[in-house]
Structures are given as structure tokens and as C-alpha cells.
Amino acid sequence: MKQGSRDLLVLAKSVELNKVAFEQEVKCLNLLLHHVESFKNFCIANEIIDVNRRKISTNIYYFQELIYLKRVKPFVFINNKN
């Protein structure tokens, strides 16, 4: 797994959190965020509304095609399911 650098703000209730426990907490948060921020989970949480075709799609390949295109057709939307 690639370790990316990110800025995290970690708030702890206990003031006496030692350095080893803090590093373990940050490591667990990075692992959790790595799984949550995957492209597959993005596709599960969103859908593509294509007004031109009158179609709603959740196909992963259609997401890749839509996101990586330089020019997107009009009236094609990415909608969050929440």
C-alpha cells in the first residue's frame, strides 16, 4: 500500500497521549481513509444521470469514462445518492 502524506487534525480527550499511541492512531486513520476513499466506494455512493439517453447508471466503467474525459457532454451529471 502506498503511504501518501496528508494533513490530519487529530483531537484527543486525554492530554497524556504518548507519542507511540499517537503514531498508532494516525496510522489507523490513514488506513481507514485509504479504504473509504477508493474509487469503488465513490462509484457505490454516486450515480450518473444522463439526460440525453434518459438513463441513470452506476456502472464503474462509465464512471471512469466520464471522469477521465477532457470534454463531457452536456446534461450528464454525477449525483450523490445521499
> pLDDT confidence of 12, banded at 50, 70, 90?
confident
**Do residues 30 and 54 share a domain?**
no
Answer whether residue 26 shows pLDDT above 70.
yes
Answer whether residue 79 shows pLDDT above 90.
yes
**Do residues 51 and 76 share a domain?**
yes
Model-wide pTM > 0.75: no
DSSP per-residue letters across 19-77: HHHHHHHHHHHHHHHHHHT-HHHHHHHEEEEETTTTEEE--HHHHHHHHH-SSPPTTEE
**Do residues 4 and 29 share a domain?**
yes
**Do residues 23 and 1 share a domain?**
yes
**Do residues 27 and 56 share a domain?**
no
Instruction: Report the candidate in 75, 45, 51 with the shortest Cα–Cα distance to residue 63.
Output: 45
> pLDDT confidence of 20, banded at 50, 70, 90?
confident
Q: Which domain holds residue 15?
A: 1-37
